[in-house]
Structure 1
Amino acid sequence: MKDQFRKTLLLACSLLVLSACPQEKPKAEEQTAPPQKTQGQELKLSAQAIANAKLELLQAGPKTLRQIRDFPGKIALDEHRVQAISSRVSGVAELTDKHIGQRIRQGDLLAVIESRELADLRLDYLNQQKQTEQAKKLLQREENLGKRIQQLIQALRKGGQPESIHQAVLGLQIGSSKSQLLTHYSRLRLAQTSFERENKLAQDQLSTSQELQQARQELEAAKAQYIGALEDLTWQRENTLLEHRQTLRLAQSALESAQAKLQTFGPGGLTHLSPNQMTRYEIRSPLSGVVVEKNVTEGQGVMPDAPLYKVADLSEVWAEIQIYESELDHIRLGQQVMVRADGLKQSAPGQITHVKPLVDEVSRSAEAHAHIANPGLIWRPGMYVTIQVTEGTWQVPLAVKRQALQQLEGKTVIFIKQGERFLPREIKTGREDGQSIEILAGLKAGDIYVGKNSFVLKSALLTAQEE
């Protein structure tokens, strides 16, 4: 049995070249306090042997140690990075090609719903759109007509012979209003000419007062008819414009109402307005992430607000910490944590961002959340983890990795490297945090020591001593 054990040790250290020589006494300046010497052999290794043995060479120096307390917990979705997705219309699912675990981008198509309800609303929207456009055109036509009538009125107010005015407004498309106004204007001009002639004849005593009075009455009548025609035309224009503007406002209001109804269905409500796509309603992802839940299949009837998908952004997750009543005083917002899982070789730093104010009546525990980054998506929601909460920190002038320590001949030692030689150095330790340990004596800052796999050197040294 002893030979078999020796063979095992020799096999583990097959890459080490052993040279038996007395251990070199450390120089006084290399110690913070005089250590006891460890009797035995030193080990001499080449660079290739160090690499083959996978020895981790580290430099001793100052370190921040942490007072850590372990809590049980599990990984959970970040509630601010998850969204349940539902249909806003009733219908039948025609396309559902995204599956649980599939990564998607914001805007990716998740499902297509065929909805008669949506088609009716879209058709109403298009009809209101047509009526609004028609009302705009009619109003524009009436406004243009009003402008042409104003040009006619301005020409009449400038005065002149009816024939010249008629030629000036010949190209204006006004309709019967133009001929009516020109007729009244011609009568007014004729009555004006007759009155002026009778007035001159009366002054020359060539006409009677009755004839002058008759001419004056005819002039007043023609003027009243002309002014009345102008006022009637102006009133009709204003009234017609008011009616068309009111019609346009009603059409626009109906269009806005139809549009608002479609907008309640999200961005997809106002798309797919062509006749062959009226019933199509697309559901797209509002965020990039992973499909974590699916509750719809093709051909399934869908009701409004029924959850169809759940998409989560897993690039950041929560570590839910379970805290018993007796340990609540150890948890506070802002504390740094380290999350570890038995099934993973990795750890993730984080920070406590939320502590629930209530204690569960059954488990007598509260819950806190630590926010951790998850770029590789290795931290899966539901995974049980250990959460190491940092309660406090302190700075020490000299510390090494805890795994570097070995027990040799009843003493605590560290293997230090001097050139190609590795020597066990007895040390005196102080405070520790589970990962690192304070060195009070036996080592100085800057010394190169073996961290990981230092047990290989211990095994080789023991084997050499037995031989």
Structure 2
Amino acid sequence: MFSEEQQKIVGLRTARVTAGTVPHVLSAPGQVAPNESQYAYITPRAAGVVRSVNAHIGQFVHAGDLLATIDSPVVGEARLELYTRVQELEIAKAQADWEEMVYRNTQELIELLRKGESPEAIQNRFAERAVGDDRERLLTAYAQYRLAIATVERNRELNSQKLITPKQFQEVTAGYEVAQATYQSLMDQTGFEAKLANTRARQAKRQAETAVRTAEERLRIFGVKPDGSEPELVGGKVAGLKVDEPEAKGENQAAAKPVGGRPEAATNETEAPVSTYSIRAPFDGTILDREMIVPGVAVDITHRIFTMANLSSVWIEASVHEGDFDLLASSHEGSEIRFRSPAYLDREFEGTVIYSGDLVDEKSRSIKLLAKALNPDRLLKPGMFVEVEILSPRKKAAVQIPSSALLNEGDRTYVFVKTGPDRFVRRDVDAEAPRGDLVTIRRGLDKGDEVVVEGEFKLKALSVQLASAGH
């Protein structure tokens, strides 16, 4: 019994138990990791010798910034191969255009010959047009054929007047037939040969185009732009590329001015050989590591010469034990997490779940949950340990009370519940870790219960006294 007067004297105050949509809070250890979609080990695409080094550890670079240049015989061969194939394509195009024009003009010439146009008219019409050797052969055969026609007509009149012998007329007729067969055969052959030459020229052009595309793809495999813009191929050399001319040993003798304005050598404007290719930043980010490379060092495709990442966002990897999988089951992509780091005790960070894990580690009996967190100030460093709180929705409303109502005795947690105007009972509860001014109660209280939130310690002391007195 605790009268209302006594309650006022000790400052006893109560509050009603409420229920709300409070998420489950699952705590798990974790660490900061780079965002793998913005993380890269940069390796040479082709083996060679370092020509210049243009970026240093800790430097922020933009996508496309020059990191290093490499001299590679393989790239040089690929560039010269493309240069050769482009020249062959130009020749093939010119040949194809020529054969196409000859074919069209030959077809028109044959059509005029079939119509019986005079040689003078045909010569005038095709005086400035390309027909090739077919012009002379066709017109010669055509003239001989026309002459044979005229000869036959003249001798036919003479034969009718008995002015020539039948044998002479037969010889003239045979000459006409030979001229006609020769002319007709030549027209057929010329038309076919012109069409065949045009087809072969077009096929050769397509083959040359395929060879150019193949050579371009080979350069793309090496990370080199085949259009010649990076760097530009001029006279067998790469024009306009600043290259290293080290005067002494050491990586600070690189001649090209690095991105970011940190000079590592004196600038020397020279033309790099055709074998030089550039290694550039694939995205905006920071150089996290750089292999010990200086001009003159041989590298191959297995060397991770740069490691870079964009740290404007990072991943949080949390290890969730299998005993908490039931709480994790309600987490999904887009769920929220909160986390803290020992480095920033007074600051809480937020993130969004991107993967809730499907494989259980056999040793730790846990799964890896991944979340993405923005890192504009770059306070979160990859490798940093954090304590993660995963927020997952509850199936039903959660019971909450002010955290000041909780009392502890050994490993037991309890509250005082007001059951009457002057009556209070002690009730054990299963409470989650307090968050701010409120705490979620798993078991022990119901919505509408009235708990003591102020003066509970005096109430506790009084209950101990009453228990000792046997009341």
Normalising to structure 2: TM-score of the pair? 0.68
CA distance in 1, matches of 2:215, 2:132: 37
Structure 1 residue runs without a partner (length 5+): 1-32, 41-59, 407-411, 413-427, 450-467
Change (3 A) 1:35 1:290: farther
Counterpart of 1:294 (choices 290, 294, 302) is 290
CA contact (8 A) 1:62 1:397 kept: yes
Q: Which amino acid aligns with 1:215?
A: V
**C-alpha RMSD of matched pairs (Å):** 3.8
Flag the 1:298–1:404 CA change in 2: closer, same or farther, 3 A. Answer: farther
Q: What SS does the aligned partner of 2:383 have?
A: coil
1:306-385 equivalences under 5 Å are 306-324=303-321, 326-332=323-329, 333-334=331-332, 336-344=336-344, 345-350=346-351, 351=353, 353-361=355-363, 364-376=364-376, 377-385=378-386
- 5 Å matches for 1:50-69? 64-69=21-26
Q: Which amino acid aligns with 1:262?
A: L
**For residues 295 and 227 of structure 1, what CA distance do their matches in structure 2 show?**
78
Change over 3 Å in CA distance of 1:356–1:308 after alignment to 2: farther
Q: CA deviation at 1:264?
A: 1.1
Cα deviation digits, residues 324-363 of structure 1 (max 9, x gap): 45555554342643211222122223337232523343xx
Q: Distance in 2 between matches of 1:106 and 1:440?
A: 61
Question: Helix, strand or coil: the match of 2:158?
Answer: helix
Q: Is the CA contact 2:317–2:371 (under 8 Å) kept in the aligned structure 1?
A: no
1:112-132 CA-partner distances (Å, limit 9, x unpaired): 212232112101110111011
CA contact (8 A) 1:287 1:311 kept: no
Structure 1 pair 352–254 and aligned structure 2 pair: CA distance change class (3 A): closer
What does residue 222 of structure 1 align with?
179
| Amino acid of the structure 2 residue aligned with 1:107 | G
1:4-43 equivalence runs, <5 A? 36-38=7-9
Unaligned runs of 5+ in 2: 12-16, 239-273, 408-414, 416-425, 441-447, 455-471
Find the residue that maps to 2:307 and give its secondary structure.
strand
Give the whole-Å Cα distance in 1 for the aligned partners of 2:83 and 2:320. Answer: 59
Question: Secondary structure at 1:89's aligned position in 2?
Answer: coil
For the 8 Å contact 1:96–1:110, the answer to whether it is kept is yes
Write the letter of the residue equivalent to 2:361: V
User: What is the CA–CA distance in structure 2 between the aligned matches of 1:217 and 1:357, rounded to whole Å?
Assistant: 97
Q: CA shift at 1:148, angstroms? A: 2.6
Q: Secondary structure at the match of 1:283?
A: strand
| Larger mean Cα displacement after TM superposition, 188-197 or 325-334 | 325-334
- Contact between 1:268 and 1:281, CA under 8 Å: does it hold in 2? no
SS at match of 1:220: helix
Deviation per CA, 1:75-122, whole angstroms, max 9, x where unpaired? 222333322221101122233332333333322322221223211210
Amino acid at match of 1:389: I
Give the drift of 1:228.
2.9
> What is the DSSP-based 3-state SS (H/G/I as helix, E as strand, rest coil) of the residue aligned with 1:37?
helix
Q: Is the 8 A contact 2:68 2:279 kept in 1?
A: yes
- Map Cα deviations across residues 141-188 of structure 1 (whole Å, 9 max, x no partner): 122223233333222222144344434433334454323322222221
Q: Would you say the 8 A contact 1:318–1:369 is kept in 2?
A: no
Distance in 1 separating the partners of 2:164 and 2:386 = 124
Partners of 2:159 and 2:165 within 8 A in 1:
yes
Larger displacement relative to structure 2 (259-268 or 81-90): 259-268
Which amino acid is 1:293 matched to? D
CA distance in 1, matches of 2:138, 2:122: 11
**Structure 2 vs 1, CA of residues 403 and 98 (structure 1 numbering), >3 Å: closer, same or farther?**
farther
Identical columns (%): 25
Residue 381 of structure 2 aligns with an amino acid whose one-letter code is R
The structural deviation recorded for 1:397 is: 8.6
- CA 1:71–1:440: 2 relative to 1, 3 Å: same
Find out whether 1:144 has 2:104 as its counterpart.
no
Larger Rg: 1
- AA aligned to 2:305 is L
Distance 1:159 1:269, change over 3 A: closer
Equivalent residue runs for 1:92-103 within 5 Å: 92-103=49-60
Question: Paired residue for 1:280, among 266, 276, 280?
Answer: 276
- Matched with 1:183 is 140
Query: Shift in Å at residue 395 of structure 1?
Result: 4.4
Secondary structure class of the residue paired with 1:355: coil
Is the 2:62–2:283 contact (alpha carbons within 8 Å) kept by the matching residues of 1?
yes
Cα shift at 1:224: 1.7
Using the TM superposition, give the Cα deviation of residue 434 of structure 1 relative to its aligned residue in structure 2, in angstroms: 0.9
User: More displaced, 155-164 or 301-310?
Assistant: 155-164
List per-residue Cα deviations over 1:411-447 (Å, max 9, x = no partner): x9xxxxxxxxxxxxxxx99866411247965899xxx
Q: Is the 8 A contact 2:322 2:367 kept in 1?
A: no
Aligned-partner Cα distance in 1 for 2:384–2:401? 33
Shift of the 359–99 alpha-carbon distance from structure 1 to 2, 3 Å rule, reads: same
How far does residue 396 in structure 1 lie from its aligned partner after superposition? 6.4
CA distance in 2, matches of 1:358, 1:61: 38
Give the letter aligned to residue 188 of structure 1: Y
The structure-2 alpha-carbon separation of the partners of 1:186 and 1:318, relative to structure 1 and needing over 3 Å to count, comes to closer
- 1:121 — aligned with what? 78
Matched AA of 2:56 = H
Q: How many residues align?
A: 374
CA gap 1:176/1:134 in 2 versus in 1, 3 angstroms: closer
- Greater alpha carbon shift after TM alignment, 71-80 vs 199-208: 199-208
SS across alignment from 1:197: helix
Pick closer, same or farther for the CA change 1:38–1:262 going to 2, 3 Å. Answer: farther
For residues 368 and 235 of structure 1, the distance between their equivalents in structure 2, rounded to whole angstroms, comes to 73
- Amino acid of the structure 2 residue aligned with 1:357: L
CA contact (8 A) 1:75 1:318 kept: yes
Q: Following the alignment from structure 1 to structure 2, what is the Cα–Cα distance between the partners of residues 77 and 289?
A: 11
For residues 235 and 390 of structure 1, what CA distance do their matches in structure 2 show?
81
For 1:247 and 1:63, the matched residues in 2 are separated by 78
Contact 1:76 1:319 in 2 (8 A): yes
Distance (whole Å) between structure 2 residues aligned to residue 295 and residue 378 of structure 1: 25
Structure-to-structure mapping, 1:154-303, within 5 angstroms: 154-268=111-225, 270=227, 271-272=230-231, 273-274=233-234, 275-277=236-238, 278-299=274-295, 300-303=297-300
- Cα distance between partner residues in 2 of 1:386 and 1:260: 48
Equivalent position of 2:246 in the other structure: none
- Distance, in Å, in 1 between the alignment partners of 2:322 and 2:77 is 59
